[in-house]
Structure 1
Amino acid sequence: MLKRTDLRGRVPSPAQLRALLPRAEVDVDAVLHQVRPVVDAVRERGVDAVLDYTERFDAVRPDRVRVPAREMESALASLDPVVREALEESIARARAVHADQRREDVTTRVVDGGTVTERWVPVSRVGLYAPGGLAVYPSSVVMNVVPAQTAGVGSLVLCSPPQAEFGGLPHPTILAAAALLGVDDVWAVGGAQAVALLAYGGTDTDGTELEPVDMVTGPGNIYLTAAKRLLRGLIGIDSEAGPTEIAILADDTADPAHVAADLISQAEHDTLAASVLVTTSEALADAVDEELRRRVAATKHTERVEQALRGAQSGTVLVSTVDDGLRVVDAYAAEHLAIQTANAREVAARVRNAGAIFVGPYSPVSLGDYCAGSNHVLPTGGFARHSSGLSVQSFLRGIHVVDYNEQALRDVADKVVALANAEDLPAHGEAVMARTGRLPGSDA
């Protein structure tokens, strides 16, 4: 079922591998011309433009943008107890993991009388996005809110698309998840117009202020990603997320049923989702294909899954050794990387590039999506070569606080002046000399 790339006996260079390996083709630039008018209209006309675009794209026009508190309370009261218990467990585990990511201020005594302190300060106000397209993602609410709260962000607003089925409100499970997490500012707006409204703010239909944010996080479609690109600078962003992806590095010890189930679990997200198997075993590849034929036909979203698995972004890569497989997966830099080999923990420790790593047969990606405690907002499209997933650090800014006394400045004044002159910036040196009252190099 999966197309194959045979690299046995050869491992191309990292640059060649990037060109050879399957990858979803997502051209954000191609939709910028469609998104720019939306962003401009929201900047100029505020909520009126937001509601116009909401009616056009979501086939519903809410009475207001901000969701009333009573609707969130009602959604939580009506939530299936089994789902509530699962969300509470997900929240508890995420809080435990993210609590250990907190940073403390660190002061370094550079010299007597001279210190530099790195002070960690949370972003003041953050907009969090929970998609509502092919599926509903209360788990994304958890994954965005928990690290922001743990970082100490003082003001959070959650955006999720309004649903005609629910009277112009976001999906009730999204509202219930927000209520469980203590988020009381929720806006019924999705897509590019959501990012624009978060960036510019506005006035709701009832006259209340919708305050702009400093940063926007959370996954979404290509139009939301384009809006993030256009507005980056005015707001901070977590990343430009593309379609989800899984790579599995496996040898002949892997269970083909596990491998096939994991590939399908990501393929059901989206027709552009990438499912890639890297294996030393042709027999395993054959067995996985057979499992896929059987399981795809029986899964709920058969058409979507099959299209994703047969797409250019998915496939099997055959390699000679696990070492070769590691070079392949490091070049691919998957959002989710599963290691299903002998000595999986040792193999996983050698991986350099991945958004998250899932070790062995009992750590499936879907565990990380919901209840491992890890964060599932992860870099896609090879960005794991240089970027991390969402964490407490995403919402913190490191500020250096420099505190030198007079003698400590005098002791280094000539060095500062020398470097300033070397860069032809003499006024920099003069700013030091004005405080020391002496020429550089003198003992006075």
Structure 2
Amino acid sequence: APGGRSVYPSSVIMNAVPAQEAGVESIALASPPQREHGGLPHPTILAACALLGVDEVYAVGGAQAVAMFAYGTESCAPANMVTGPGNIWVAAAKRYFTGRIGIDTEAGPTEIAVLADDTADPVHIASDLISQAEHDPLAAAVLVTDSVDLAEAVEKELEPQVAATRHVEDRILPALRGRQSAIVLVDGLEEGLRVVDAYGAEHLEIQTADAAAVADRVRNAGAIFVGPWAPVSLGDYCAGSNHVLPTGGCACHSSGLSVQSFLRGIHIVDYTRDALAEVAHHVVTLAEAEDLPAHGAAIKARFGWKVPQQ
């Protein structure tokens, strides 16, 4: 249920394809109604749905879409699971309804962190920070570096790049100037790694010497982009990684959306009499230790109340 004013057909693909590959039989999509298109979702959204064979589409956005899927309506059956990115209201709604519905993770507002040293190109870093800032005024753009020269060069480079793009006043500048965005100076790479692990960014770029080795040491991130030729935009549209990723520190316990997100494991227990007899005394002993005698009695009853001893 993508939220907000923008139109992201890529989100349709990122959500629908893993569900289809997982064998989900019923897929419904919600996308905000567009005034200029007669209250329907944007035509590019509908086109993406048509290409993917998703034919249950609702002109609903934001937290309302999450509530619709959680409770159901006369025309929309309740969903078992709601996935997808959105603004802060979508993320809050997904958190609120967790338990009534399954969710992938809290995916929004977007975040980018860049761990960089003096080998990084400030032009690349500035452009990547801006690319995520254009999503939302609450988007977070963070540079972590041990190089004062690089930090100053990135700050200098931001001004002309911001001036040359769109969505400046309503999204990019509020995002870059907000308390959620910063340049963090650290004493060295080790401290930088501790900072990015504590942050657990949705998107983490590693722009350092031997970037692959540094990336291998990261524990918490939604997706890691290694080196100068793997910008976040590549992951959004082409690389094959999913761009529905955990935000707000959820990367310390959650993963990005994948086929696995739509699969469930069911534990099956199937014992013979001999197999149960072999372990019965263990079950009875643990039941008695926990003062749950009826648990043990359920085992004893199968053996005439005398548990075989091993």
> Is the 8 Å Cα contact of residues 105 and 255 (structure 2) preserved in structure 1?
no
1:186 has 2:57 as partner = yes
Q: Which amino acid aligns with 1:179?
A: A
Q: Which residue of 2 aligns with 1:31?
A: none
SS at match of 2:142: strand
Determine the C-alpha separation between the residues in 1 that align with 2:19 and 2:164: 39
Q: Which residue of 1 aligns with 2:19?
A: 148
Q: Which residue of 2 aligns with 1:123?
A: none
Determine the C-alpha separation between the residues in 1 that align with 2:96 and 2:189: 41
Q: Which residue of 1 aligns with 2:2?
A: 130
Dislocated runs of 4+, deviation >6 Å: none
In structure 2, relative to structure 1, the CA distance for the partners of 1:437 and 1:292 (3 Å cut) is same
- How far 1:441 moved relative to its partner? 4.8
> Is the 8 Å Cα contact of residues 115 and 143 (structure 2) preserved in structure 1?
yes
Aligned with residue 116 of structure 2, among 233, 236, 250: 250
- How far 1:223 moved relative to its partner? 2.7
Determine the C-alpha separation between the residues in 1 that align with 2:140 and 2:93: 23
1:361 has 2:228 as partner = yes
Deviates more, 1:399-408 or 1:318-327: 318-327
- How far 1:442 moved relative to its partner? 4.5
Matched ranges for 1:226-265 at <5 A: 226-265=92-131
Determine the C-alpha separation between the residues in 2 that align with 1:273 and 1:419: 51
Determine the C-alpha separation between the residues in 2 that align with 1:146 and 1:310: 36
- How far 1:426 moved relative to its partner? 1.1
Aligned with residue 390 of structure 1, among 251, 254, 257: 257
Q: Which residue of 1 aligns with 2:166?
A: 300
- How far 1:434 moved relative to its partner? 1.6
Q: Which amino acid aligns with 2:304?
A: G
Determine the C-alpha separation between the residues in 2 that align with 1:374 and 1:409: 45
> Is the 8 Å Cα contact of residues 276 and 317 (structure 1) preserved in structure 2?
yes
SS at match of 1:130: coil
Matched ranges for 1:11-410 at <5 A: 129-131=1-3, 133-204=4-75, 210-303=76-169, 304-410=171-277
SS at match of 1:134: coil
**Structure 1: where are the runs of 5+ without partners?**
1-128, 205-209
Deviates more, 1:135-144 or 1:238-247: 238-247
Aligned-residue sequence identity (percent) comes to 70
- How far 1:224 moved relative to its partner? 2.7
SS at match of 1:353: coil
Considering Cα pairs closer than 8 Å and 6+ residues apart, tell me whether 1 or 2 has the greater RCO: 1
Determine the C-alpha separation between the residues in 2 that align with 1:222 and 1:280: 31
> Is the 8 Å Cα contact of residues 34 and 41 (structure 2) preserved in structure 1?
yes
> Is the 8 Å Cα contact of residues 130 and 138 (structure 1) preserved in structure 2?
no
Q: Which amino acid aligns with 1:266?
A: Q
Determine the C-alpha separation between the residues in 2 that align with 1:134 and 1:245: 18
- How far 1:164 moved relative to its partner? 1.6
In structure 2, relative to structure 1, the CA distance for the partners of 1:293 and 1:442 (3 Å cut) is closer
- How far 1:337 moved relative to its partner? 0.3
Determine the C-alpha separation between the residues in 2 that align with 1:342 and 1:144: 34
SS at match of 1:401: coil
Q: What are the superposed Cα offsets for residues 375-409 of structure 1, whole Å, 9 maximum, x if unpaired?
A: 01111111111111111111111111111111000
Determine the C-alpha separation between the residues in 2 that align with 1:371 and 1:270: 22
TM-score scaled to structure 2, two decimals? 0.96
In structure 2, relative to structure 1, the CA distance for the partners of 1:410 and 1:175 (3 Å cut) is same
In structure 2, relative to structure 1, the CA distance for the partners of 1:226 and 1:332 (3 Å cut) is closer
Q: What are the superposed Cα offsets for residues 139-167 of structure 1, whole Å, 9 maximum, x if unpaired?
A: 11111111111111111101111112111
**Structure 2: where are the runs of 5+ without partners?**
none
- How far 1:241 moved relative to its partner? 2.9
Determine the C-alpha separation between the residues in 2 that align with 1:190 and 1:377: 17
In structure 2, relative to structure 1, the CA distance for the partners of 1:442 and 1:361 (3 Å cut) is closer
- How far 1:226 moved relative to its partner? 3.1
Q: How large is the RMSD of aligned CA atoms in angstroms?
A: 1.4
> Is the 8 Å Cα contact of residues 409 and 436 (structure 1) preserved in structure 2?
no
SS at match of 2:70: helix
- How far 1:293 moved relative to its partner? 1.2
Q: Which amino acid aligns with 1:419?
A: L
